Structure 1
Amino acid sequence: MNLSRRKKSHLFPVLMAASLLFGVLPKAYSQATNFKPGAIWPDNKGVHINAHGGGILYQNGTYYWFGEHKVGGEAGNVAQVGVHAYSSRDLYNWTDEGIALKVSDDKTSDIAKGCILERPKVVYNTKTKKYVMWFHLELLGKGYGAARTGVAIADKVTGPFKFLRSYRPNAGRMPYYPAGTPAAAQINAQHPANKSDVIFMRDFPGGQMARDMTVFVDDDGKAYHVFSSEENNTLHLAELSDDYTSHTGKFVRIYIGQQTEAPALFKNNGKYYMIGSGCTGWAPNPARWFTATSIWGPWTFEGNPCVGAGAQKTFGGQSTHVLPVSGKKNAFIFMADKWAPKDAIDGRHIWLPIVFNGNNIEINWLDEWNLDYFDKQPTQTQPSEKSK
């Protein structure tokens, strides 16, 4: 960790307090008009946006960003505060909306202070008029052994969210196999064919492991929970109930035995896309992407969407969410985290535009860019040649 960078990050609240006292806003905190991937990103209070591993909900002209609130040092790698919320109308400038979900001081609570609470995602249910938050949860003092998912609800978009429960999904349920699924791709409960099948059957009675995750709401209002399972060897895509607060028991396994985490699912022109990463702890690795014509698959591995210098390490980041830009066609932002485990609060946000070349996608590094970038992209119908 760069010590000078760490010292600077800790000075932000002090500098902002001084600025407010004298009624002068530092130049660094003036209204932003561009994205600067990997740079310090001040909110309306001049403090680096503290929403890591998060996702964004768009509603009524406003974007709401939810993410893990970090504190300084390695203590920030566990949940000391909770889930932080921000709002924006232009995506460049963000207003601090406070803590949407607080961890509990009750040590017996599933979300006790010091637990591991990661990758919160919030969706809105138009039927119940509730906001629903899902997240990866590890119980206090259990390391990464619990591998649960947690759910909370709220009446207001920025909370406060009420924690409902945590559990392992789909206990006693076998995967759904779409028509045409080869017999070799199906689990033989008596004779598991591979390591992942063995782990799946091990966890069958009590529910499947659920770690890195996202939530996706389709055009028909159906919601799906995607999570890293089977000791991170395989992704599960599971259907949620009509109120989005539980699982129906219908799910599929994706990229079996290939160790995938950090899923981010989106849809464009009727096709489903998903970006994820390999499993190398806090260290970056090549991103990977998948496509499907049905939410249930089959899902096809397509390689690495990142191109150019730094592509083999996803430009230092790891996927967390893909954001559709309202009012623009074929405009999606790849959101990634540049983790700083030695000083968690210094984690940076890497936002980059996704370029569609036919059915292919590409992510290139840009030092600075804005939403006009999407207006300048030519319409392409043929996939480009790119290294996967």
Structure 2
Amino acid sequence: MTTNSFDQDSKLDAPTAARRTSITPGQPWLDTNGNLIQAHGGSILYDAGTFYWYGENKEHTTGHTDTWHWGVRCYASQDLYNWEDRGVIIPPVLDDPTSPLHPSQKMDRPHIIHNRFTGQYVCWIKVMYPDDTQKSSVLVADSLLGPYRVVRSHLRPLGMSAGDFDLVVDPVDGKGYYIFERVHSELIIADLTDDYTNVTGYYSTHFPHPHPPFVREAPAYFRRGSLHYLFTSGTSGYFPNASEVAVAKTYHGPWTVLGDPHPNDETRTSYRSQICSVFKHPHKKDLFIALADRWLGDRDVDARKAAMMFETAFASGRPADFFRQYEQEDPEVFAAPDTSRAGYVWLPVRFDGDMAYLDWQDEWRIEDYE
């Protein structure tokens, strides 16, 4: 594949974008130029009065090439409705196939935190490799919009294969934490070094499970008052599954599982989405927004059947053989999705005591919250 050229058919149409006044979960979301927003597996930072939404740029990931990503893209907004494209802040590396930023590398879930002591913005990414290992790379920049430079690559934190993750900074003492899935095993919460570019060696383990789809991944952390929360999903690839919410009194737990935050979703697919992060609105008393991706778009998926496939495959000890068999039996289900058109499901978190819920809304407005 030539990584710097694409068929015209793979480009997105760019209709004129009307000014938005609400959030409509699951509906196409265009930037102010009229293009589909490309910030998948994303997060929001509030910096100097502006909201920044960044994530995986999937504009060329149509499922018909080996292009997994085209760097990390960022958008800016004053209202969380209308987003201006600020460009690719971490561009793909085209001339080195071994780089974690090469388009064919399976780079996922960038997370950026600001280090108030060094003044730097620190970005972690994870990459899935052909040998089934998952490793991290770390980049730093003096500005949120870059340029970023790689300071660590192919990192195995604590000597572990590290999958989906979140980064957390304590608002009081500035201490950093790295919350990640020890691949197909358990969730790890590790202390970051003072510069946030590595782990110290101190960590705790949580939610042990024997294998997918039970293993928890996609950790999304937030804090409400004195309580720490984690949304996680099961492990079933791009097939959506039931989320889980847990709560603790400290970063390192112990964590108590409270249940499924989507109790009204009879499909057990978290509204056909996977939560990637949670953002606390800085000007609202108690508005937390869960950001989620619909990786498969409108593709109809039987979540229970998908979960059974993963359970059978991994329990056998020969998951690759089983998945090859499943793919031969039902190739359409396992066809690579067009994630360039994957949608977003943003919903406000509702609290009932300690429990956190996500209720479906076709449309909602930030102005309706105190």
Which interval holds the TM-score relative to the shorter structure? 0.7 to 0.9
Alignment match, 2:107 = 117
Question: Within 5 A, what are the aligned runs for 1:273-288?
Answer: 273-288=229-244
Alignment match, 1:44 = 32
- Which residue identity lines up with residue 82 of structure 2 in the other structure? N
Q: Is the Cα–Cα contact under 8 Å of residues 336 and 350 in structure 1 kept in the other structure?
A: yes
Alignment match, 2:146 = 159
Change (3 A) 1:312 1:144: farther
Q: Offset of 1:89 from its aligned partner?
A: 1.4
Alignment match, 1:59 = 47
Q: Matched residue of 2:271: which SS?
A: helix
Q: Is the Cα–Cα contact under 8 Å of residues 169 and 247 in structure 1 kept in the other structure?
A: no
- Counterparts of 1:146 and 1:113, CA distance in 2: 18
Which piece of structure 1 moves more, 277-286 or 76-85? 76-85
Task: Give percent identity, aligned residues only.
Answer: 34
Q: Matched residue of 1:316: which SS?
A: coil
Q: Offset of 1:10 from its aligned partner?
A: 5.2
Which piece of structure 1 moves more, 67-76 or 248-257? 67-76
Q: Is the Cα–Cα contact under 8 Å of residues 333 and 353 in structure 1 kept in the other structure?
A: yes
Query: Which of 120, 126, 134 is equivalent to 1:130?
Result: 120
Q: Offset of 1:262 from its aligned partner?
A: 0.7
Alignment match, 2:303 = none
Structure 2 residue 13 is the aligned partner of structure 1 residue 12: yes
Query: Which of 309, 313, 319 is equivalent to 2:265?
Result: 309
Q: Which runs of 5+ in 1 are unaligned?
A: 1-6, 16-25, 172-206, 376-388
Q: Matched residue of 2:239: which SS?
A: coil
Q: Is the Cα–Cα contact under 8 Å of residues 78 and 117 in structure 1 kept in the other structure?
A: no
- Counterparts of 1:12 and 1:337, CA distance in 2: 21
Alignment match, 2:255 = 299
Structure 2 residue 355 is the aligned partner of structure 1 residue 354: no
Question: Within 5 A, what are the aligned runs for 1:212-361?
Answer: 212-219=164-171, 220-229=173-182, 231-257=183-209, 258-310=214-266, 312-340=268-296, 341-361=336-356
- How many residues align? The count is 317
Q: Offset of 1:308 from its aligned partner?
A: 1.4
- Counterparts of 2:80 and 2:180, CA distance in 1: 27
Normalization by structure 1: what TM-score? 0.78
Q: Which runs of 5+ in 2 are unaligned?
A: 1-7, 297-335
Deviation track 1:203-230 (CA, whole Å, cap 9, x = no partner) reads: xxxx11111111111122111111111x
- Counterparts of 1:9 and 1:363, CA distance in 2: 34
Q: Offset of 1:164 from its aligned partner?
A: 1.7
- Which residue identity lines up with residue 58 of structure 1 in the other structure? Y
Q: Is the Cα–Cα contact under 8 Å of residues 310 and 316 in structure 1 kept in the other structure?
A: no
Alignment match, 2:324 = none
Q: Is the Cα–Cα contact under 8 Å of residues 336 and 351 in structure 1 kept in the other structure?
A: yes
Q: Matched residue of 1:152: which SS?
A: strand
Q: Matched residue of 1:372: which SS?
A: helix
Q: Matched residue of 1:314: which SS?
A: coil
Change (3 A) 1:283 1:80: closer
* Bigger Cα Rg: 1
Q: Offset of 1:349 from its aligned partner?
A: 0.6
Q: Matched residue of 1:333: which SS?
A: strand
Q: Is the Cα–Cα contact under 8 Å of residues 61 and 68 in structure 2 kept in the other structure?
A: no
* Aligned-pair Cα RMSD in Å: 2.0
Q: Offset of 1:154 from its aligned partner?
A: 0.8
Q: Is the Cα–Cα contact under 8 Å of residues 69 and 79 in structure 1 kept in the other structure?
A: no
Q: Offset of 1:113 from its aligned partner?
A: 2.9
Deviation track 1:270-300 (CA, whole Å, cap 9, x = no partner) reads: 1100001001111111100110001111011
Which piece of structure 1 moves more, 362-371 or 76-85? 76-85
